Amino acid sequence: MAHQRLLEHRSLMPTVRRYPRPLLFIHGAWHGAWCWEQAMQDFARCGFEVHAISLRGHGESDLPRGFNLCGIDDYLRDIATAIDGIEPSPVIIAHSMGGFLMQHYAASHEVSGLVLLCAIPHTGAWRFLSAWLCRHPGAAIQVVLTLNTRYLVGTPRLARTGFFRPTAPDAQVAAAVARLCPESIRVAIESIVRLPAPRPTPTPTLVIAAERDAVFTEAEQQALAAAYHADLVLIPEAAHDLMLDPAWPLAADRIEQAAARWM
């Protein structure tokens, strides 16, 4: 009998439901459902039913054999499984790589509403990956030698540089580093060469960018919003991991406003 792959799926119910449509949070590369813990509590208090998943190989989900050969289609199957299990269909909040995956998903599926949070742009991750590898050659060599992409982000210095403000507490950065996992090499390659195509009828979309994002530039986020006919919100002073940033309440407020329109 084939092994049933287990995916981590966290759910939180509101004490008083104010909104009929649930929210589903999709994490980015190296992360897992754990990064949404505070966000889930915030939105449950606002009256939303909330869900977050860990894609295969992330968080508490099963690690497949040959994980580096998992591709975008594999992650899309995980997302489809989660969405199909939630009624009514959820509004999606997708961060970084999760936002890139959701652009692919929305190209062929109806989505009730989509928030792209510091997302890989529709033009792909080439600019970021090439710049990061050149900037951190020692980490790049470790990846080549070990085929383990966690070396790109897996120290407090690298994680702080990519994901956090320079002033983020050491304990917060260390706690995140301890939970970061390797990312699939195939997905990293596909994020460069396999680009999404916007639907003729756009999905209701909001793009939220972080002013101090060291991963994706404001110009990339502006182009992303234009490609999907979406409003762009720029959160001042925030870093790439917006859900873990002190400015998160500002982003959460804009997400709630958008989700309420899409109910």
> How do residues 78-93 score in pLDDT, each as one tens digit?
999 999 999 999 999 9
- Give the tens place of pLDDT for each residue, 216-246: 999 999 999 999 999 999 999 999 999 999 9
Among 120, 118, 156, 155, residue whose Cα is nearest residue 243: 118
Structural domains of the chain, count? 1
pLDDT over 70, % of the chain: 98
CATH number, domain at 184? Answer: 3.40.50.1820
Q: Residues with Cβ < 8 Å from 212, sequence gap 6 or more?
A: 165, 237, 238, 239
Q: Counting Cβ atoms within 10 Å, is residue 58 exposed (0-12), middle (13-18) or buried (19+)?
A: buried
Does residue 4 belong to any structural domain of this protein?
Answer: no
Does residue 3 belong to any structural domain of this protein?
Answer: no
Q: Which domain holds residue 128?
A: 9-261
Q: In this predicted structure, what is the pLDDT of residue 2? A: 42
| Residue 257 DSSP SS3 | helix
Does residue 62 belong to any structural domain of this protein?
Answer: yes
Among 219, 229, 228, 230, residue whose Cα is nearest residue 254: 230
Tell me how many degrees the CA angle 17-18-21 measures, rounded to the nearest 5. Answer: 85
The model's pTM: 0.96
What angle do the packed helices 72-84 and 97-106 form, to 10 degrees?
70
Of 18-22, 56-60, 93-97, 200-204, the poorest mean pLDDT is in 200-204
Both tokens of residue 72? Answer: 């975008």
The answer, yes or no, to whether the previous bond of 169 is cis (omega within 30 of 0) is no
Q: In this predicted structure, what is the pLDDT of residue 50? A: 98
Both tokens of residue 192? Answer: 């460069």
Does residue 112 belong to any structural domain of this protein?
Answer: yes
Secondary structure element (H or E) that encloses residue 94, with its range:
strand 91-95
Q: What percent helix, strand, coil does the chain show, rounded to 5?
A: 45, 10, 45
Does residue 2 belong to any structural domain of this protein?
Answer: no
Question: Do the Cβ atoms of 179 and 89 come closer than 8 Å?
Answer: no
